[in-house]
Structure 1
C-alpha cells in the first residue's frame, strides 16, 4: 500500500495515478497541524490494527487524480531524523576527492559508518524547493544532493535485535539529504530549512519485503544522471541500521532514517531540478532556488 499525505494533511492511498482520501476510516480525530497531529504517530505505530479499515475505505470511496491534489511530505513532525554516514563503499571512495577539493584535506574519521541527527525542521515534501542558504553561497561552499532510501519507523523501540528490525518499520520513502560541504559539524551542514525533501509517499514494508533490492536514481535537469545504485550495496543493511540506531536512542513511531548517500553526489545551483526515483516507491521532483 502507498500512503500519502495531501492537501490539508489528509491521509490518502495511492493507486496508479489516483488517490483516495481514507482519513475518515481512521479511529483518531484528524488534526491537520503537524505539531499536534498525534493521529499520524498513532497510525505509524498501529497501522496493522487499522489496515483492514483503510483497505475497505479504498474500495468504497471515490478517488481523485493525483495531479488534482497537493502532495505533502509523508511525515508529520517526526521526533527525529536519523541519517547514516559512509554507507556505500563507492561513496566513501569519492569523498576523498570531494574533501580534498572542498576542505583541503581528508577527514579520515568521516569515512567510517555511523549515524547522526538532522533537524526535523529541515523536512519538506515533493515539489517543494530546496532553498540554498545565502551565507553558505557567499562563503563559497558547495551544496550537494544525496539521494537516499528513507526508512519510516513504525512501532519503534529501543535495543531492537537486528533479526526483528523489519517488524519495526512502517515502510519506505525517497529522500534527499542536502549537504553543505564545509568544516562544520554534520548536523549543522545538513539541517538548514528545506534540506530534507521526502516523498512522494510511503510504500508499506509488506510491499517491499527486501529493502536490499531497490534501485535509486537521481537525474539533474532532465539529462544528467548523477546517481544510480541498488541498495544491495549498502555497507550496513536496513535491519542493521535500525538495530544500531535503536541501541543509542529510542526510535519513536514516525521517525525517519536516511540510509546513506550512494556515489555520484555533486553540487546543485539555483535553477536546477532534481528528479529522484526509487523502484517500488516512486518519483519525486525537487526544484532548487
Structure 2
C-alpha cells in the first residue's frame, strides 16, 4: 500500500510492507502517471525511521452527507435524491497519530468514520462507468464535526472545516473491491460503528460522476463517501480509530484547544 512519509525534513511516497515493518522508497511523483512514472528505488527504510503523514495532500476534500441509509434514519433525515456535497479545506487534513483539536467554539464534537477515495489524475465530467480510471485508491477517514454549530445554523462547511477535522490514513490501498467493505469505528476501544460500504445510497462511481460534474478534481484530491449509523460525541482525551477491511486502521486522539 502507498504511504506518504517524512524523513530528514523531506516528504515522499513509499510502498509500505507492513509485515516487515518497512517502507520501500518511491522516487518521483506518483500522480504523474502519463509522463514520468515513479520509480521503486529498491531502498528500504524501517517504519521507525519515518513519520507517516496523511497519504495525500489534497487541494480540497469533497464530502458526501447522508450517504448511508441507517445513518439517515438515526439523524431523522430523508434520503437525498442526489449526492449532498460540502467541502473541507486542505488545512483540515492531518495524518495518523496527529491529534484532533477540540475547538473552544463548540461544546458538541462528533466523529464520523468513513471510506475515502483518492483521485489519481485530473477528473472533470467523468462518467460513472469510467470512474475507476480516475481513482488511485482508498484510505480511512474521520469526518470530525462540531455538531452544535452544524445544527444551529446549517453551515456544514464551518462545522466540519476546522483545522485537524479530517484525519486520513494510514495508507492508500491501490486495488480494492470497494463495494462491500467492513468499516468499524472505535472510541476508547469500544465499537461505535460497524457497517458495510454496501449500505451506501450512492455508489462510489456515482459519487465521482456527481462531483466531477460540478468541479474538477485534481491529483491527490479526496472524496469522503459518508458515514454509517453510530455517530456520537468525542471528548478531550478520547482515543478514536477507524478500521476498514483491506486498508488498515487510522488511529488518533482528541486534545483540547489551548
- TM-score, length of structure 1 as denominator length: 0.80
Number of aligned residues: 247
- The alignment status of 1:80 with 2:60, answered yes or no, reads yes
Q: Which residue does 1:239 correspond to in 2? A: 205
| Greater radius of gyration (CA) | 1
Q: Which residue does 2:114 correspond to in 1? A: 148
- Given that residues 5 and 11 in structure 1 are in contact (C-alpha distance below 8 angstroms), is that contact kept between their aligned partners in structure 2? yes
- Given that residues 87 and 157 in structure 2 are in contact (C-alpha distance below 8 angstroms), is that contact kept between their aligned partners in structure 1? yes
Structure having the larger proportion of residues in helix: 1
- TM-score, length of structure 2 as denominator length: 0.89
Q: Which residue does 2:75 correspond to in 1? A: 95
- The alignment status of 1:115 with 2:97, answered yes or no, reads no
Q: Which residue does 1:277 correspond to in 2? A: 243
- Given that residues 25 and 45 in structure 2 are in contact (C-alpha distance below 8 angstroms), is that contact kept between their aligned partners in structure 1? no
Q: Which residue does 1:101 correspond to in 2? A: none
- The alignment partner of 1:286 has SS state of strand
Distance 1:14 1:109 in 2: 38
- The alignment status of 1:15 with 2:2, answered yes or no, reads no
Aligned CA distance change for structure 1 residues 108 and 237 (closer, same or farther; 3 Å) = closer
Distance 1:229 1:47 in 2: 37
Aligned CA distance change for structure 1 residues 48 and 126 (closer, same or farther; 3 Å) = farther
- Given that residues 86 and 112 in structure 1 are in contact (C-alpha distance below 8 angstroms), is that contact kept between their aligned partners in structure 2? no
For 1:100-179, what aligned pairs fall within 5 Å after superposition? 113-137=83-107, 142-179=108-145
Structure 1 residues 41-76: Cα deviation after superposition (integer angstroms, max 9, x where no partner) = xx224289625x32xx3xx32331x24421111112
1:186 Cα deviation from its structure 2 partner: 0.6
**Once superposed, what is the RMSD of the aligned Cα atoms?**
2.0
- The alignment status of 1:63 with 2:45, answered yes or no, reads yes
Distance 2:220 2:109 in 1: 28
- The alignment status of 1:187 with 2:157, answered yes or no, reads yes
Structure 1 residues 158-217: Cα deviation after superposition (integer angstroms, max 9, x where no partner) = 11010001110011110000011132311110000000000001111xx21x21121111
- The alignment status of 1:263 with 2:229, answered yes or no, reads yes
- Given that residues 59 and 220 in structure 2 are in contact (C-alpha distance below 8 angstroms), is that contact kept between their aligned partners in structure 1? yes
- The alignment status of 1:50 with 2:17, answered yes or no, reads no
Q: Which moves more between the two structures, 78-87 or 5-14?
A: 5-14
Q: Which residue does 1:35 correspond to in 2? A: none
